[in-house]
């Protein structure tokens, strides 16, 4: 229905890593798209609600979004320099989280797991520079 939402989704699909709302907005405007910041936020929220994109919070409280290949539950290995992201599955971690929770009598266990590092390209660049 909404071409704007699709446009936002498309930007994320073309991105290697997580992008912030402001970032997506800036890129769309730079490409000449006529879109408002409000609409970008709404599109991202809607996409996140439908599970079409993954959301996480950066250390400084910004929400960042990514169109992930897998719709299933998975985690991310994110380069802290360039933001490039690899989707990773971790059955062991899922089990561990569940076990830790039930062990203490907790129910309805959920968890957040993110792995950060410096990707090969960036560590090479750092060494060269």
Partner DNA sequence: GTGCAAGTGAAAACCGTTGTCAAAATCGCC
Partner DNA sequence: GGCGATTTTGACAACGGTTTTCACTTGCAC
Stretch that binds DNA, among 42-50, 84-92, 102-110, 113-121 (CB under 7 A): 42-50
Single out the residue of 96, 125, 128, 129 in contact with a second copy (rule: CB under 8 A): 96
User: Residue count at the site for a second copy (CB under 8 A)?
Assistant: 35
3-class SS of residue 99: helix
Q: Does 90 contact a second copy by CB under 8 A?
A: yes
User: Which residue, 71, 78, 74, is CA-closest to 57?
Assistant: 78
Q: Does 118 contact DNA by CB under 7 A?
A: no
Asked if residue 119 belongs to a known ligand binding site, the reply is yes
User: Residue count at the site for DNA (CB under 7 A)?
Assistant: 21
Burial code (b: 16+ CB inside 10 Å, e: under 16) for 102-127 equals eeeeeeeeeeeeeeeeebeebeeeee
Single out the residue of 10, 13, 16, 36 in contact with DNA (rule: CB under 7 A): 36
Distance CA 77, CA 80 (A): 9
82 neighbors 18 (Cβ within 8 angstroms)? no
Residues that bind a second copy (CB under 8 A): 57, 59, 61-63, 77, 79-80, 86, 88, 90, 92-93, 96-97, 100-101, 104-120, 123
């Amino acid at each position: 229905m909404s071409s704007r939402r699709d446009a936002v989704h498309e930007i994320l699909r073309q991105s290697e890593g997580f992008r912030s709302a402001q970032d997506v907005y800036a890129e769309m405007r730079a490409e000449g798209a006529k879109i408002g910041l409000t609409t970008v936020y709404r599109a991202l929220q809607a996409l996140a609600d439908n599970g079409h994109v993954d959301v996480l919070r950066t250390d400084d409280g910004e929400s960042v979004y990514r169109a992930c290949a897998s719709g299933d539950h998975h985690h991310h290995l994110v380069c802290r320099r360039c933001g490039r992201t690899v989707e990773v599955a971790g059955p062991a971690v899922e089990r561990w989280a569940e076990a830790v929770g039930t062990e203490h009598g907790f129910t309805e266990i959920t968890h957040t797991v993110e792995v950060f590092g410096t990707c090969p390209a960036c560590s090479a660049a750092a060494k060269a520079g």
